[in-house]
A and B are shown apart, each in its own frame.
Chain A
């Protein structure tokens, strides 16, 4: 039985343990039908031209883990940003771990999707937001069909999440292969503010496939600051589908740090439903071996006077491959749009590949849109300059790559997180850079 068949038949088992009478279940049933009809995307589709899921779909994933697994905090502490106080929503093999989590209902809700989907007090918010901006493509539909657990965050009007929120998914390797489908909903009301750090971490080399969907609603003047740390084991793959709806004067900033994993596909979508909106996407990708990272972004400029900024840097070694596909749509009404997109790449190996493709669809006539892609090797004159000052080749190379990705780090607003990312990068580049840039 292939994975698609397995998933479709698992849906029946899934129905046995969820409330099939809830309105959510109609959405799920609809979604599994879509998935059944469409199936997994293949390279024949334009949006998947450079990313093949074949190698990861052949595993015999367990869709529902048999048992609940526990982890000791001391063994996994290093995956947390632990030097600051944070809210934590932690899952082990897809199941919520109350032991490792720190949630709250004090003024703000930082809790579980399963409670939000089932408890009457969340009904209105769920009805107004759940699956409202998630697209109906196959992978998102697949997640919707099985949507049951994940993070639920609601920051009411004028409130501020005083601590960053960490959403961490661990997989223990107790299953020989595991598929996870977390579903997150983040609702940030008018003038509210939240910082979120998301991480997926496999603890063994057993294959893991995560197909995650996150819907984020930023109301007027809301500020959402989202960080994705993708530094997983070499057999863990991630398909991240994130949808962000923004209203007037809201600011949303998503950083994606892709340093590890077998295959990563980021589908990051911004919809600007209001004026004076700022949407910012930043990414650093540093990979090697046969790793594959694909950034697929969309910014939909719908109303006038908005901005979007995209800045993705990639460093590709060994036989790794990268994809950047950045689509910007500017509707006819969206006059005075400023849309910037940059994708700069360094290939440090002859066998590494990057496919970069900006896609601009502009229907308004008074806009500023720019895009630039570069693919290059390390700047030889800079190398000679550094070496002439006594910095050996390897260190000079690392310092240059570090410097190259540095401007993406400058917008990270949590200093401890920035420090952590700095360390991961220095580690990845195999040098001890004796200072913080």
Chain B
């Protein structure tokens, strides 16, 4: 270890060892399950990884009272861990062997990063991701313009390009000199994105003393995901919940957010990040809505235009008359049973009526949601926040609204949502429908904020529509998730700002 602490500007090398006495090391390893821990260790023991995570190997045989005698060779060590993989045992056993045995001299930053990323793969919902859009800035035409506020270049044609190693190099140049960072790039399996883990050490030194002084808690880690072929960046929110570190971790995160566009920019090609209003724990969903495919600006019912399935061949060379999307499956049954249906309508037994209504509701749900928002599509959003900025509807229905019990009575005139709070918003939408452009300042505009919570918010709304609890035809468009935002303000019944366009 160096005797002198000399500040450097280089990034932290991956081979930098961290003492295993550090509580963070054990904590990081203990978070993993036994199988993933063992497979990770076997990965460490791969001959190609020896420069990054060298285990302690026996040089001369002394020290017989060692509880974990060092193995003679890599193969031997691999065998020991493979054996552990075969038989059952506790996680404790593996962690102890790593910390007190084979890596007692310290695990490297690379190993810690791997352990952290492995935890992320094992628990994909453990991080909340916020999507940012990368936008090109106008090249200032003069010195004065350069001083002024940045302007978006709306007419820009090139798509921002991401090159991992150049980006990391530039980002290091942007990070302040009194901070050290460790970068680890990884490509998760089955997802078209690059994952960059940044671990920050707020000390200009990279010696053991500095490392021992800082805690290795999660708040110092920031993940950035770069989806392939998409002008978006996903940033992980701070993971820690402790009150003491929030301020610090926020500032570290802010630093990174500032650094990203600068690191992406090149001479005469500047970029800025803009919040895309989308935050979720589900990376697959994020890739669907802010990814590389066709589905970015065609959510909800519009997804039938973006769907990439072979079921509906949309080729102009297909001579067969396309059946309307709603009756694909039961087209034949529809034709045959149309007469029967008419009869069923006329008899109007209650049972038939319910069945009819249920079918109608299903069709409406299909029309509004298309193929999206299925409960099992793995694209669940767990939280949607909507702020209603529409004026309160006039007194016409205020009495009804006041005694809003929350129970759905079937006096279909009163169109209610599931719970009382939504009803007010609902009326506001009706109102906004009536006079669209009366943006009167005198109107009373209560701040109504709706928060939808659940494992898959839009699938839940779809189920409500299918069950006939929410009137699918009068439901505002943002309830279908077609805007692709999880945070938004509603004015005139539509998400404000981008007027629903995906540009």
The answer to whether A binds B is: no
Interface residues of B (CB under 8 A from A): none
Interface residues of A (CB under 8 A from B): none
